Chains A and B, each alone.
Chain A
Amino acid sequence: MKILLEKSAFDIETYLKNGGYEALKKALSMKREDIIEEVKKSNLRGRGGAGFPCGLKWSFIPKTEGPKYLVCNSDESEPGTFKDREIIHKNPHSLIEGMAIAAYAIGAQTGYIYIRGEFARETRIIEKSLAEARSKNFLGSGILGRNFSFDIKVVRGAGAYICGEETALLESIEGKKGQPRLKPPFPAVKGLYQCPTVINNVETLASVPYIVLHGGSAYASIGVGKSAGTKLFSVSGPVKKPGVYEIELGMPFKKFFEEELGGMREGEKLKAVIVGGSSVPVLTAQEAMAANLDYESLQQAGTMLGSGGMIIIPERQCMVEALFILARFYHHESCGQCTPCREGTGWIEKLMKKILEGKGASEDVDNILSISENMMGRTICPLADALAMPAISFIKKFEHEFNAHIKGNCNLCRK
């Protein structure tokens, strides 16, 4: 079952032939509350990484007068994640249609697509698609002859990972330095320009037309339990067929790995899997093979579905080196507001460098573990956790590789 990538439509004519914008027409004849109700019923959860129930998020928007905003988070910058890009490439109008429906449901007049700065080509696609949608009056004033006006502006990021955090993203749109805001107030109460705002990921919004067209329960019946619908996984690493896959939630990793990805390339052996983007704890091959790809199963396995940015790590990859690269990334991207993250990420990178260069001692590994513990859950946004969680899991699950580095006999690095 595929929803998002079933039929690709690069231009609006093809999208319309595929039945595009029918959902918007249907939505505009529905009551706003009913749309939110359907989305709630669908069990659609935020696809950006946190998995917050989408309908619930929309229902937090107060029914007061005054401006409200809908923001699409297309800052896709979690290492290993490239699934939103695929939607923009193959089905850009599904995002625009989803946004128009969401805006109607929450009463937003203006939408923003905050797109990662490196996505130059994707920005052009979005701009072209927006122009097409405007020309057909799916955007603009009096959409489809109804008393509903909505348009979308595109804002390009400037390369900061932290601007993918929704409140830092809002700061960035407002022209300020991208730093997460203290919550509460949550964006639904005080978001963009201090107005009620919904921020959804590209994949979440692109799933909305299907829900409106087929009903919430139809969507909820796809997948497993509270993990409803389909999910995109962007797979990188030495598998036979890396790329972006849309699967029903709940598929066993083993099945996905063997049937869709075609297993490892010749001569490669699976060592570990990062399932949901670089911020989540790593799974050993054995753990991964026992897990199913849905929110609950992965939580049970000690990790998270996250963004679906799946990184397949082969046996030949040194885990110390891999963690060093992660530490360097999060150190570089920490916004620096909160003490534990600002100081902790840099400290871990320094220790990792030392270990990687063979100058480490076993107490350095212990220190990384305790620094990670000291960072976790004590900051405004989860960036500190995003290094702490992988760090702890890498060390606990691949301790022998760290020990080998300390003793100076890592045979993976020497190769």
Chain B
Amino acid sequence: MPKIKIDGKEYEALEGETILQAAQRNGIYIPRYCYHPALSVAGNCRMCLVEIEKMPKLQISCSTAAQDGMVILTQSEKVKKARQDILEFLLINHPVDCPICDQAGECYLQDYYMDYGLHKSRFKMSDKIRREKRIQIGDYLTLDRERCILCTRCVRFCEEVTKTNELFVAQRGDHSFIDIKPGEKLNNPYSLNIADICPVGAFTSSDFRFRKRVWFLKTEESVCLGCATGCRIKVQYDENTVYRIMTSPNEHTNTWLCDAGRMTYKELYAEKRLRKIKIDGQEQQGKGLSAVYDKVSQKNPEKTAVILSPYLSVEDNMALYLFARHALKSCRIFLPQLKDRKISDGILRNCEPAANAAAMEIFAKVFSIEIFNPEKAGEFDFVITCKKTADRLHLEKEGLYFSLEDCGLEGILIPIKSYFETKGTFINWKNRAAVTSPAVKNENKFEVWRVLSELASLYGSNLPFENLSELEEICKKEILDGHTH
């Protein structure tokens, strides 16, 4: 393995590693714009120039291989000067409209200017090249060409990751700009990643635009429930409002995040969100659980089907199972038919749309649960499941449905918390378990497990847990044993 020296200290580089990578792995940060670890090397921004002994010119560390015996300087006067000069070049035609730019606070022009620039401007304001702003280039993306530094991360993302090739650099020199083929829109299913990887305010999310200054945002690590892939996400929120979902890159599940996944938080603020318990179309005043009990207890348990849901957490499913066993006793328990869990688009989207499908199979195995056959729905008078599972099975039966949204299902609708509002364990397609973290609170909605626990007590049979942590213990023992988080 090549031995190199960076800023006077010796390090070992890995075979095939570039100077930038070797430095970063050893905690030495070299500034960069065009370099992105998941994209090919373009080498055009020239921000990562370093000094290498015996080489007369500065070299770009993003593309220069770390070779045995190299003596590299990342902090020399020559390097510092080069960084300042590159920043000056990048900023001369930049509008410096930070006060109205959404990127402010997470902008590499701002950050590097503070770290490496701090130069006075010697470029005349009136000489700046003006370009088009506020281009709605896709459903989720706004392009500001004045702020673009032409690092081509966006172009390479569309070429190499989505392979949709929408973008290119039009024109030459300082007339260059990012463009899209005439008549096309930048609407590939991963388009919002472009806003993430854009190091400046050129591509911003139209959804997030002008809604919050990023420095107010707090972050919870969580898991995306958009499909069975179970991408790790960052939920960003402030004052009990979720503002955006970002990818949380990791080696096991995902580097990127799809647009649909990023939009899952919209369920929190949907106009159709169910407000209160509804029984036969009537909103219940107060807590309403006794009314729910009154209705459910009239049903013949033998003609009731409890269907576990791949859209609910392991804990909620466990509560549902225990409720069926301990409270309803003679009911039948099912799970829905699942789809193949595999990537459908070569990137992240899974053929199985439910986030907890893998957990269903464990439930099936551990408790010998059979798959619900919609053709035999006629054998039952009453169903207990969640709304999404009912939709998936095309059930139009009277039942007790846990639901985020108001819908036309017959019987009882319980307004539940979203998993942005409560904790729950999900097992992804690769059998990795992850727990959602509640970023926001919503006291007006129910947790599935708590509803079932309280209903069970009305039945006179206490479920074998008092609180969530006891339920989690049961799940750990029965379901999650041996699963990596």
| Interchain CB contact under 8 A, B86 and A340 | yes
Interface check A334, CB cutoff 8 A: yes
| Interchain CB contact under 8 A, A340 and B93 | no
| Interchain CB contact under 8 A, B57 and A345 | no
Interface check A344, CB cutoff 8 A: yes
**Inside 8 A of B47's CB, which chain A residues have their CB?**
339
**Inside 8 A of B169's CB, which chain A residues have their CB?**
177, 336
Q: Which chain A residue shows the least CB distance to B43?
A: A182
| Interchain CB contact under 8 A, A343 and B63 | no
CB distance from A260 to the nearest CB of B (A): 36
Q: Which chain A residue shows the least CB distance to B152?
A: A337
| Interchain CB contact under 8 A, B175 and A336 | yes
| Interchain CB contact under 8 A, A339 and B57 | no
Q: Which chain B residue shows the least CB distance to A383?
A: B173
* Residues A336 and B46 in contact in the complex (CB < 8 Å), given A347-B123, A378-B57: no
| Interchain CB contact under 8 A, A336 and B86 | no
**Inside 8 A of B129's CB, which chain A residues have their CB?**
346
Interface check B92, CB cutoff 8 A: yes
Interface check A333, CB cutoff 8 A: yes
**Inside 8 A of B42's CB, which chain A residues have their CB?**
182, 337
| Interchain CB contact under 8 A, B174 and A378 | no
| Interchain CB contact under 8 A, B175 and A378 | no
| Interchain CB contact under 8 A, B89 and A340 | yes
Q: Which chain B residue shows the least CB distance to A363?
A: B122
Of B63, B86, B172, the residue contacting A339 (CB under 8 A) is B86
Interface check B274, CB cutoff 8 A: no
**Inside 8 A of B46's CB, which chain A residues have their CB?**
338-340, 378-379
Give Cα A23–Cα B58 distance, bound, in whole angstroms. Answer: 44
**Which interface class (under 10, 10 to 19, 20 to 34, 35 or more) fits A?**
20 to 34
CB distance from B291 to the nearest CB of A (A): 68
Give Cα A343–Cα B123 distance, bound, in whole angstroms. Answer: 11
Give Cα A162–Cα B176 distance, bound, in whole angstroms. Answer: 15
CB distance from B50 to the nearest CB of A (A): 12
CB distance from A389 to the nearest CB of B (A): 14
**Inside 8 A of A90's CB, which chain B residues have their CB?**
none
| Interchain CB contact under 8 A, B171 and A336 | yes
| Interchain CB contact under 8 A, B127 and A345 | no
Interface check A59, CB cutoff 8 A: no
**Inside 8 A of B150's CB, which chain A residues have their CB?**
336-337, 339, 342
Give Cα A377–Cα B60 distance, bound, in whole angstroms. Answer: 11
Give Cα A343–Cα B172 distance, bound, in whole angstroms. Answer: 11
CB distance from A351 to the nearest CB of B (A): 9
| Interchain CB contact under 8 A, A335 and B89 | no
**Inside 8 A of A341's CB, which chain B residues have their CB?**
173
**Inside 8 A of B90's CB, which chain A residues have their CB?**
339, 343
**Inside 8 A of A377's CB, which chain B residues have their CB?**
56-58
Of A332, A340, A350, A367, the residue contacting B173 (CB under 8 A) is A332
Give Cα A336–Cα B169 distance, bound, in whole angstroms. Answer: 9
Interface check A352, CB cutoff 8 A: no
Interface check B85, CB cutoff 8 A: yes
**Inside 8 A of B158's CB, which chain A residues have their CB?**
none
Give Cα A380–Cα B63 distance, bound, in whole angstroms. Answer: 11
Interface check A160, CB cutoff 8 A: yes
CB distance from B44 to the nearest CB of A (A): 4
CB distance from A342 to the nearest CB of B (A): 5
| Interchain CB contact under 8 A, B127 and A350 | yes
Q: Which chain B residue shows the least CB distance to A162?
A: B172
Interface check B146, CB cutoff 8 A: no
Q: Give B122-133 as 1s and 0s: 1 = Cβ < 8 Å from A's Cβ atoms.
A: 111001010000
Q: Give A360-396 as 1s and 0s: 1 = Cβ < 8 Å from B's Cβ atoms.
A: 0000000100000010011110000000000000000
Interface check A331, CB cutoff 8 A: yes
Q: Which chain B residue shows the least CB distance to A343?
A: B89
Interface check B88, CB cutoff 8 A: yes
| Interchain CB contact under 8 A, A342 and B122 | no
| Interchain CB contact under 8 A, A345 and B89 | no
| Interchain CB contact under 8 A, A345 and B173 | yes
Of A182, A333, A344, A347, the residue contacting B172 (CB under 8 A) is A333
8 intermolecular pairs with C-beta atoms under 8 Å apart: A331-B173, A334-B174, A338-B46, A346-B174, A374-B88, A377-B56, A378-B58, A380-B43
Closest 9 CB pairs of A and B: A343-B89, A336-B176, A334-B173, A374-B85, A346-B174, A377-B57, A182-B43, A337-B44, A336-B173
9 new A-B contacts at CB < 8 Å, known A331-B173, A337-B150: A160-B172, A177-B168, A182-B42, A339-B90, A339-B150, A340-B89, A342-B176, A344-B89, A346-B173
